[in-house]
Homo-oligomer: A and B are copies of this chain.
Amino acid sequence: MSIQARRERERADRERLIVSVARELAEAEGWEAVTTRRLAERVEYSQPVLYSHFKGKDAIVAAVAVEGFADLAAKMRAARGSTRSPQRALAAVAAAYIAFAEEHPALYDAMFNQLVSLPFATPEAPAALHAGFDELRQVVRPIAADDDVDLLAEVLWSGLHGLVSLTRGGRLPRPDHERRLALLLSRLSG
């Protein structure tokens, strides 16, 4: 009984190891450097072991992405709690979102670009995802007026993601990043 428990524990440990090594490798050298061979080498197991834990490489990326959503949600939560002014809270959460994307580009990539197959706007979506969206919902509630809170949260999310995505792809010049963010927020606030 206990012996099987140990093995399951070790298996779970190894699974976590795979995910964290994948994340480290991606954050250090980008996702194009994360190959199943390199990953296997770093966790000191052979390639097929990866496939006994995950259906494929995408599933590993997805696991890293879920970690990312949890981190992002935590960052936004802290930002929202840093002030009692609704306006400041909005600005703080938005800034936290942008900062997260800038500090963890590979993670952000996994969350929004690499991945297509994560369940999102459904009940089966990972908790971290709901938590993150909840932060946006809370922070826009004071400025929603007659508009639907969920909808406004989604629009804010779109605006933030658009800014991040276009800026990072070189579509928008970096320098005015903060002015753009301020303009977006002031307009969305009504």
Task: Assign chain A's interface to a size class.
Answer: 35 or more
* Chain A to chain B contacts (Cβ below 8 Å), 29 pairs: A112-B165, A112-B166, A112-B169, A116-B169, A119-B170, A120-B169, A120-B170, A121-B171, A121-B173, A147-B183, A151-B176, A151-B179, A151-B183, A154-B166, A155-B183, A155-B184, A157-B171, A157-B172, A158-B159, A158-B166, A158-B172, A159-B162, A159-B184, A161-B165, A162-B162, A162-B163, A165-B165, A187-B187, A187-B190
| A70 in the interface (beta carbon within 8 A) | no
B112, A171: Cβ atoms under 8 Å?
yes
A161→B5 CA distance, assembly (Å): 49
Q: CB-CB contacts of A84-128 with B at 8 A, as 1s and 0s?
A: 000000000000000000000000000011011011110000000
A23→B152 CA distance, assembly (Å): 36
A124→B115 CA distance, assembly (Å): 32
A83, chain B: closest CB distance, angstroms:
22
A178, chain B: closest CB distance, angstroms:
11
CB-CB < 8 A to A170: which residues of B?
116, 118-121
A190, chain B: closest CB distance, angstroms:
6
CB-CB < 8 A to A169: which residues of B?
112, 115-116, 120
Q: CB-CB contacts of A127-162 with B at 8 A, as 1s and 0s?
A: 000000000000000000001100110110111111
| A12 in the interface (beta carbon within 8 A) | no
A98, chain B: closest CB distance, angstroms:
11
Residue in A158, A179, A180, A190 with the greatest tally of chain B CB atoms within 10 Å: A158
Q: CB-CB contacts of A174-190 with B at 8 A, as 1s and 0s?
A: 00100110011001101
A188→B155 CA distance, assembly (Å): 11
A113→B169 CA distance, assembly (Å): 8
